[in-house]
Structure 1
Amino acid sequence: MIEHDDLHASLNRAVLISLFSWRRAEPDDPVDDEQRYGWWGDSFPGVANDRIGSRLWLLQRVRLTEQTRRDAEFYAREALQWLIDDGHCRAVEVLGERAGINRLNLRTTLVLNDGERLDINLQESWQVTYAL
């Protein structure tokens, strides 16, 4: 049986890997060049459409707008959906919060199967900074 602290550490690590690994861009995603990036293993998934990482990297050079906030939340939820699908938790909550004129922070909470809420501290781990 996994101990409580070990479970939290494992879930925290899983969230960080899921958010900060670069998922391959979709065909209709705007990119700066022809590179779609992503992990090569996603080309041969064991489960159909199973992919690792997030598309947060697409927001590196975009203007910080309300749409950017919504896109960041969507990309984060998309990257973490596997935690629900695989039965590790029953819900994922993501909240994008603007911090000043050029920074967006993500707050992530997992609702575990027993109802416990696990806040994943991403402070200073991820941010969108508007770059000219």
Structure 2
Amino acid sequence: MDVLLADVEGLFDLALTGGDLATDDGLRTAVALSLLSDRRANDDDVLPDNAGLGSGDRRGWWADAIAEIDGDKWGSRLWLLCREKTLDDVRRRAETYAREALAWLLEDRIASAVEIEATTESRDVLWLAIAIERGDGTRIADRYQYVWR
């Protein structure tokens, strides 16, 4: 699987090695895609009002409609937080959305545990600390940045 790497500003890009796409075991890339892809909003979610446009766009991935498992969805609802303030409630929602996006790791037995902690270090940046323990006891830990701009 091709690898996505985050730079110091938290922006992701494909990694190159010797002029070819770099690869990894896929877990870090799968986690990044799960968190940073837009899951379709639930019917009861309040959609962010983008500059007063009120588009009503619930986003989501088209292939959710043909998922092998009924109700299986890809991505996260973190995008719903784009117009929120950096409050404790918003951090808790970010953790809930990240947990929801990564639930497949536990369901598919790729991980035995997933730990998530959201923090804000400035008023426009939310950090998600994600630690994943695999069944063999190995552990990976990364931080992902969500920017309110």
Same fold flag (TM > 0.5)? yes
Would you tell me which structure has more helix in proportion to its own residues?
1
- Per-residue CA shift, 1:60-102, capped at 9, x if unaligned? 1111100110000000010000011011111111100120233
Q: CA RMSD for the aligned pairs?
A: 1.5
Structure 1 CA distance, aligned partners of 2:116 and 2:147? 15
Which residue number corresponds to residue 127 of structure 1?
A: 146
Structure 1 CA distance, aligned partners of 2:96 and 2:27? 20
Shifted more, 55-64 versus 32-41: the winner is: 32-41
* Bigger RCO of structures 1 and 2 (CA < 8 A, at least 6 apart): 1
Give yes or no for the alignment of 1:46 onto 2:68.
Answer: yes
Q: Give the letter aligned to residue 103 of structure 1.
A: V
Which residue number corresponds to residue 99 of structure 2?
A: 77
Q: Give the letter aligned to residue 36 of structure 1.
A: R
Give yes or no for the alignment of 1:24 onto 2:40.
Answer: yes
Which residue number corresponds to residue 139 of structure 2?
A: 117
- Per-residue CA shift, 1:36-70, capped at 9, x if unaligned? 01011112211111110000000011111001100
SS in 1 for 2:73: coil
Is the Cα–Cα contact under 8 Å of residues 24 and 39 in structure 1 kept in the other structure? yes
Which residue number corresponds to residue 86 of structure 1?
A: 108
Structure 1 CA distance, aligned partners of 2:24 and 2:40? 30
Q: Give the letter aligned to residue 47 of structure 1.
A: I
Structure 2, unpaired ranges of 5+ = 1-22
Q: State the TM-score, normalizing by the size of structure 1.
A: 0.85
User: What is the number of equivalent residue pairs in this alignment?
Assistant: 121
Q: Percent identity?
A: 40
Q: Give the letter aligned to residue 99 of structure 1.
A: E
